[in-house]
A and B are shown apart, each in its own frame.
Chain A
Amino acid sequence: MAAVSSEGTEADSDGGSEELVLTPAQLIRSLEQAWLNEKFAPELLESKPEIVECVVEQLDHMEANLKRAKRGDLKVSVHRMEIERIRYVLSSYLRCRLVKIEKFFPHVLEKEKSRAEGEPSILSPEEFAFAKEYMANTETYLKNVALKHMPPNLQKVSLLKSVPKPNLDSFVFLRVLERQENILVEPETDEQREYTIDLEEGSQHLIRYKTIAPLVASGAVQLI
């Protein structure tokens, strides 16, 4: 995975360089993409710590600039508004992730546990800490208030089995960013057979999330 940096104002992504340098505008666009995907995907997506970190830096940078600016300068309120907008998108994105982490915590932690070395994590280190605490807090609570007072054979309950999984069969709207060929679509009825489709760049579709989940992860499609 290439590192993202908000330093520099020009995009200079010469093919050989490891570090992908984004302009502030590109950075905000990638935040917005991550935000919309997260809002519409039924499961928790891969975390984007680089984007979050850079946006935070960018906000700090803008704040600092504002402090230096003269009072009453019209530019100040325009910049202030820009900061408010970016902060809203960032907050909304992180909030949406927290909601999913709380909703699916046993599954999210299980997925993290079984993650192979080198595979990208779905949780940032801070989110991972939060999820573990949420799990421990909830387990302790249920044990102390109810389970330990129950008959011995009923004192254990698997939260992994009790808390529902994300429904990957749900439908999502998407826009195609990079043309895709031969996407396998599962049959909807007994009479149908599986078939393949091509996704043209710029076209929009309503489809089961499961079918295109890898394309969301790779950035080839954008959920809308």
Chain B
Amino acid sequence: MAGERAAELVRELHRAAGGHLPPFRAEGLRQTLEEMRVLYERNQADVSEAKSGRTDLIFLVRFRHCCLLRNQRCILAYLYDRLLRIRALRWEYGSVLPNTIQFHMSAEEVEWFNRYKKSLATYMRSVGGEEGLDLTQDIKPPKSLYIEVRCLRDYGEFEIDDGTTILLKKNSQHFLPRWKCEQLIRQGVLEHILS
């Protein structure tokens, strides 16, 4: 059935719950575009036939046109939903994505992501005084200035507010300024311990 490949792209993406980003299906996209090319060519041929009297072809032309629109919609929805997932990565992961995630993105998606990052950075620099305001921080309302954290993996040296550095070693525990470690917690380097 026409439109089946395109629907499969959508189905696979929909199954990846919670905003997870599955690998980009370049081949599925290529095949769908190829299917569209064939449908369109056949319609071009039949439209001129229909104009010269073959009215029985009108239904077929209409039918193929529906399939073309369907493929177009599926492709755009697939690509657009992936952009929304990629956007979420910037907010939850930070501006540098690990290779494992980048492997799932097409070159054009990486480009979109880089431009998005740039626009966002420009915006965040423009609000909030000299240094700008990092809106990807302060996701939850603050309760205390310092929080207790446990280090989940070896991270290395980390500079805290007053210029001193500490060593973040696996399983070590620290009492740190909340706003310095929010991103490391979201990245899974540190774990916030509630007393």
Contact = CB atoms under 8 A, between A and B. Distances in A.
Interface in A85-128: 85, 87-88, 90-92, 94-95, 98, 102, 126-127
B89 to A, nearest CB: 14
Interface in A173-219: none
Nearest to B68: A154
Nearest to A124: B127
B72 A157 contact: yes
A9 interface: no
B123 A126 contact: yes
Interface in B17-34: 29, 33
Interface in B93-108: 106, 108
B50 to A, nearest CB: 16
Nearest to A103: B84
Contacts of B192: none
Interface string A156-172: 01000010000000000
Interface residues of B, number: 43
Given A138-B83, A145-B79, A59 B127 contact: no
A117 to B, nearest CB: 25
A85 B141 contact: yes
B138 A87 contact: yes
Contacts of A150: 33, 36, 72
Given A88-B138, A157-B72, A127 B112 contact: no
Given A133-B115, A145-B108, A84 B179 contact: yes
A69 interface: no
Q: Which of B39, B40, B109: most chain A Cβ within 10 A?
A: B40
**A-side binding surface: helix, strand, loop or mixed?**
helix
Nearest to B162: A71
Contacts of B36: 150-151, 154
A57 B133 CA distance: 12
Contacts of A70: none
A13 interface: no
A183 B29 CA distance: 52
A149 B31 CA distance: 12
A144 to B, nearest CB: 6
Interface string B118-142: 0110110011111001110110111
B186 interface: no
Given A56-B128, A81-B142, A84-B179, A137 B135 contact: no
A154 B33 contact: no
B80 interface: yes
A112 to B, nearest CB: 16
Given A90-B133, A92-B138, A141-B83, A151 B40 contact: yes
Interface string A123-147: 0001101100110011001101111
Given A56-B128, A151-B40, A146 B76 contact: yes
B75 interface: yes
A88 B128 CA distance: 12
A136 to B, nearest CB: 9
Nearest to B123: A130
13 contacts: A81-B145, A84-B178, A91-B133, A91-B134, A94-B133, A98-B123, A98-B135, A126-B126, A127-B123, A146-B29, A146-B33, A150-B36, A154-B36
